[in-house]
Structure 1
Amino acid sequence: MKPIALMAIAVVMTGLLACSSLSSPPYENTYTVENRFAQDVKNFPAIQIASTAVPAEVVEKKNITYVRYGARELQLDLYMPRVLAENTGNAPVPGVILVHCGGWRSGYRTHLTPMAIELARAGYVAATITYRLAPEAQYPAAVYDVKAAIRWLRSNATEYRVDPARIAVGGSSAGGQIASLTGMTNGLARFDPQAKGSSVSSAVQLILNIDGLSDFTSAEARKHEDVPGKGRSSAGSWFGGSYAEKRDLWHDASPTYYVGEGSPPILFLNSAQERFHVGRDEMVAKMKIYGISSRVVTLPDTPHTFWLYEPWIKPAARVVVAFLDEQFKP
């Protein structure tokens, strides 16, 4: 074989190995804070990207592997109050798993780093997680990942000073929908195949939904996510097909259909963009039937991805902390 041909084969093999590495999924992920900012600043010229600098009162622990699938590792970054990290005599505190935005097929866990830092400053342990996106693994893989992260946090509760009886799951946009579905399916084995043989629960006691859909099947949701002739939408990519092609999955992934007497309390923290609130009111109405706490807070004059920016990250965090305090620190 000619040297040029051998070189070409080597290049191809190198590329394949790179695609199968632990931290580099085989697709381009361009959903960055900078790209979102370039779009949002056109309509909100006063915004600034929220800082990810870690203040002195917070301890950051980065790149912790929480689950492995063969050679693939999924990691998280954990933030905790310094006083908690340095004084093991303090009582454990509630923990929060945070699931990032990006339309189910893109995004990074660092999108929720500013929120995690604010929660740690308020006395909580918060972890931002990487999960498998649609190009790597379609629905319901992301839900499996989030439940694995919850189980990891509960398994390591002593080390990170977390109260295993007080764990919340939250997320923004696509992550908000995933968080809602994760919490609403507490105890359902088909959404947690890794639970088999484990004594550690992936159940959560609280849900934080930041501008995430609650019902994929509604006409309003499909108006944006199931438009004929416009190619596969974000949701369509996650499900592997349109509503007509994968109707059962669109229904299966809608948190509103799982509301029951054992559902956790939920906070809906919303932007001014109505399209991302689809199914919320119906879900709240169902929860009222069972006497389950819910709260809806809307931040006026905000873009969808308000959690990425000043001046909204701190007001948004205050809303989240107030709900956490109310439910976890009565």
Structure 2
Amino acid sequence: MRKVFFSIVLISNIVFAQSNLHIDTSYTIKSTYNKLIKKYPFITIPQEKHNGDVAEIKDLIYQQRKDRALHLDAFYYKKKKLNPAIIMIHGGGWRSGNKSQMHALAKEFAAKGYSCFAIEYRLSLEAKYPEGVYDVKNAIKFVKDNARKFNVDTNKIVVLGCSSGGQMATLIGTTNENQGFEEASFKSKSTSKVNAIIDIDGVLAFKHPESSEGEMASFWLGGSYTEKPENWKNASALSHTDKNTPPVLFINSSIDRFHAGRDDMITILSENKIYNEIKTIPDSPHSFWFFEPWFTETVKYTTQFLDTIFK
């Protein structure tokens, strides 16, 4: 009886802790639509499609921390036993947004033969850099550990992110098997290594002539560049790009600051004969992936890239 009581108290404390998290809800699909509709009156929000060939499992716990659980949503193609997997990281300036914002893309990719995972990670109001990076890497390990359940080919793991999620995706992909970016306490038989990166309008370098990162980045990185220069450097994928970086697809808006450091990164990739592509969508705003007609373009560019590297 005492054991049961202890379990109830423990679960209650976790629920209480999670319910008291301060959540920034400023970045949503709807709020972004309201900002953009006057300038882009033709945009529409794509409807999430149901497909009988796609299995959906939401709010799976991939890590139970002492004070809270971390979840992911899985969407996977049921007709094949070995699908490439896409780990999906939402944007929101490392402070806002949530995993549901990746559902429309995840369902679209899953219907085309992929296993997709929209990841919850700790945002800057809860945890500073590099904790959120640890979270996504732990989610990758969880997916690999449960590959058979989700029809995943563990040799074809893709990390995809949008905006700040794109920054995180490229950092995760360029720090494959770098123990400095792993949470040692997370127990897994798998590694967080990925085989491809898709960066959708995420910066590659925080301190760079093309970058204008400021308050949001400073808050996540634990201080301004003057206060925390090592974090600003280490959190930049450009600092880690080398011969071991996997193939990369950059899908960009027409706003230059959201791909700061990209061209320098491409120089390194090309020197090392690492496959890479750039797709720039003309006259598009940041957060273009939320809306048609750019949603369909994003899906097309992503699947064409993955067909090329995984064929």
Instruction: Output the TM-score relative to the length of structure 1.
Output: 0.87
The question of 1:319 aligning with 2:301 is answered yes
Residues 280 and 195 of structure 1, relative CA distance in 2, 3 Å threshold = farther
Paired letter, 1:156: N
CA contact (8 A) 1:272 1:299 kept: yes
For 2:14 and 2:165, locate their aligned partners in 1 and report how far apart those are by CA, in whole Å: 29
1:289 Cα offset (Å)? 1.1
Instruction: Out of 175-184 and 212-221, give the one that drifted further.
Output: 212-221
Structure 1 residues 97-176: aligned runs within 5 Å: 97-176=87-166
The question of 1:26 aligning with 2:28 is answered no
For 2:303 and 2:141, locate their aligned partners in 1 and report how far apart those are by CA, in whole Å: 22
For 1:299 and 1:215, locate their aligned partners in 2 and report how far apart those are by CA, in whole Å: 21
Deviations 1:217-271 (A, max 9, x none): 11331xx323xxxxxx110110121111111111110001111111111000111
For 2:180 and 2:257, locate their aligned partners in 1 and report how far apart those are by CA, in whole Å: 30
Deviations 1:165-193 (A, max 9, x none): 11110100000000000010001111002
Paired letter, 1:243: Y
1:24 Cα offset (Å)? 5.8
SS at match of 1:225: coil
CA contact (8 A) 2:15 2:68 kept: no
CA contact (8 A) 1:61 1:79 kept: yes
Residues 110 and 27 of structure 1, relative CA distance in 2, 3 Å threshold = closer
Residue of structure 2 in register with 1:7 after alignment: none
1:40 Cα offset (Å)? 1.2
CA contact (8 A) 1:189 1:195 kept: no
- Picking from 267, 271, 276, the partner of 1:289 is 271
The question of 1:225 aligning with 2:213 is answered yes
Residues 28 and 214 of structure 1, relative CA distance in 2, 3 Å threshold = closer
1:28 Cα offset (Å)? 3.3
For 1:291 and 1:218, locate their aligned partners in 2 and report how far apart those are by CA, in whole Å: 24
Residue of structure 2 in register with 1:203 after alignment: 193
Residue of structure 2 in register with 1:258 after alignment: 240
- Picking from 58, 62, 71, the partner of 1:62 is 58
CA contact (8 A) 1:169 1:204 kept: yes
The question of 1:301 aligning with 2:283 is answered yes
Deviations 1:3-61 (A, max 9, x none): xxxxxxxxxxxxx987612x662233221111111101121111111222433332211
Instruction: Choose 1 or 2 for highest CA Rg.
Output: 1
- Count, aligned residues: 299
- Picking from 250, 255, 271, the partner of 1:273 is 255
- Picking from 25, 36, 40, the partner of 1:40 is 36
Paired letter, 2:170: S
- Picking from 71, 76, 85, the partner of 2:72 is 76
- Aligned-residue CA RMSD (Å): 1.7
Residues 245 and 288 of structure 1, relative CA distance in 2, 3 Å threshold = same
Instruction: Output the TM-score relative to the length of structure 2.
Output: 0.92
Residue of structure 2 in register with 1:6 after alignment: none
Residue of structure 2 in register with 1:93 after alignment: 83
